[in-house]
Amino acid sequence: MKLTELLREQHRDLLELFARLECTEDPNERRRLLDELVDALQTHADMETRVLYPAIRARGVTDLDALVLEAIEEHHVVELLIAEAPELDPEAESFPAKMAVLRKLVERHVDQEEALLFEAAPALDADARAEGADRP
């Protein structure tokens, strides 16, 4: 599978997890889905940081470098929010609002990445395994 295809698939999976999380009010299911979401976000961000972003930056295009640096900062903000996950109360009044903010951040990141960075990704049509993308 091509790296960008794998990342797109992960994007869809992340957005699906958000949708499922929004649809349930059961606190146990919310906790389970949040834990799954956190794991998926961490795995995905690691792959982007380890494989995609260095490959794009290697092209030496200033505009792309700026987009990659912005994407890295978005990762940092998401990391700050998901660091709260173990302490979040799924029954708290603020839980849906926190998830909405996180989802909006991830959606913006996905939209920009797919529209701008994936199109510029250099020779990432090689098998993702050859690029190290299959490693956790």
At 71-93, the pLDDT tens digits run: 999 999 999 999 999 999 999 99
- Listed by start position, the domains of the chain span 3-121
Alpha helices in 48-134 (DSSP H): 53-57, 62-82, 95-112, 118-120
Question: For the domain 3-121, what is the CATH code?
Answer: 1.20.120
CA 75 to chain centre: 7
Measure Cα distances from 100 to 2, 21, 28, 118 in Å: 30, 10, 19, 25
pTM of this structure: 0.86
Tens-digit pLDDT profile for residues 103-122: 999 999 999 999 988 877 75
